[in-house]
């Protein structure tokens, strides 16, 4: 099945730093979603994007739906230790959902 | 706690066997989704049910089947198990079928095939 290219694969940052990760696809999507998964748990929705060019914030998180509808990025500002986890992008087209390969984030206090 | 429950939490079985994974959606949610998360394939959408009817199919193998019952709980049946079926299986639920309906994921069932 289709897979989204998500980068970087992993990040090690100092507490307080900003983080940026992105997702690209060869196909266009109608919806882009960003999830966070903690160890031993299911993914939790962070931000949902529904229109090309849309820029949405959720606290320290900001995500954008690319103009081409083939990409999206997620920024985390002023990282804190509880931001540790795996972040996934997901694209929805019709009734189908496709997920990125994940970005593992480690925040060093 | 997302409100979605999955049982069992862990399952260990042998190749060739058949297992059933169970999911109870959040109260009031009519849609149930099943996903497989493995190390080499990442998170893959398998199938979606809405109010008892199959709504969408993703990368679900023919050896796998699912159903949603009148009380809205769902079961995922995996048969003729292979080593490669070892993975985390997640169930998610949402209120409806609109892309605006957030999916809430359960804690997952970890399946190990020996």
The tens digit of pLDDT for each residue in B77-97 reads: 999 999 999 999 999 999 998
Whether B2 sits inside 8 A of A42 (CB atoms) is yes
pLDDT for B39 equals 82
Residue A2: is its pLDDT beyond 90? no
Which residue among A41, A50, A90 sits closest to B107, beta carbon to beta carbon?
Answer: A41
| pLDDT value, residue A92 | 93
Q: Is the pLDDT of residue A86 over 80?
A: yes
Helix (H, G, I), strand (E, B) or coil at B84: helix
Start-to-end CA span in chain B (Å): 31
Instruction: Answer yes or no: do A97 and B59 touch at CB < 8 A.
Output: no
* Token couple for B81: 């198990």
% pLDDT > 70, chain A: 98
Cα B11 to Cα B25: distance, rounded to the nearest angstrom: 20
User: What is the per-residue pLDDT for A1?
Assistant: 56
How much is the pLDDT for B40?
76
Sign of CA dihedral A42, B48, A94, B101: negative
Residues of chain A contacting residue B45, judged by C-beta atoms under 8 Å apart: 1, 96-99
pLDDT band at B59 (very low <50, low <70, confident <90, very high): confident
| A3, pLDDT greater than 90 | no
pLDDT (average), residues B62-73: 97
Convert the pLDDT of each residue in A41-83 to its tens digit: 999 999 999 999 999 999 999 999 999 999 999 999 999 999 9
Q: Using 50, 70 and 90 to split pLDDT, how confident is the model at A95?
A: confident
Distance (Å) from the alpha carbon of B105 to chain A's nearest alpha carbon: 5
| pLDDT at residue B99 in the model | 85
Give pLDDT tens digits for B9-29: 999 999 999 999 999 999 999
Tokens of B74: 């769902």
State whether A96 and B45 contact (CB < 8 Å). Answer: yes
């Amino acid at each position: 099945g289709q897979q989204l290219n998500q980068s970087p694969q992993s990040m090690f940052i100092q507490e307080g730093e900003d983080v940026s990760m992105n997702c690209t696809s060869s196909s266009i999507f109608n919806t882009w979603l960003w999830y966070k998964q903690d160890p031993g748990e299911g993914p939790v929705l962070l931000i949902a994007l529904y229109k090309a060019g849309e820029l949405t914030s959720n606290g320290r998180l900001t995500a954008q739906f690319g103009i081409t509808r083939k990409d999206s990025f997620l920024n985390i500002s002023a990282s804190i230790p509880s931001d540790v986890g795996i972040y996934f992008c997901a694209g929805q087209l019709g009734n189908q959902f496709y997920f990125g390969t994940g970005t593992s984030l480690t925040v060093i206090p | 706690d997302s409100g979605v429950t999955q049982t069992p939490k862990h399952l260990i079985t042998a190749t060739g066997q058949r297992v059933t994974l169970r999911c109870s959606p959040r109260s009031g949610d009519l849609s149930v989704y099943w996903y497989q998360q493995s190390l080499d394939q990442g998170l893959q959408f398998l199938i979606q049910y809405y109010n008892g009817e199959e709504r969408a199919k993703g990368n679900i193998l023919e050896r796998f089947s699912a159903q949603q019952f009148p009380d809205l709980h769902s079961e995922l049946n995996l048969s003729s198990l292979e080593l490669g079926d070892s993975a985390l299986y997640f169930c998610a639920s949402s209120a409806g079928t609109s892309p605006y309906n957030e999916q809430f994921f359960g804690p997952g069932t970890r399946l190990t095939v020996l």
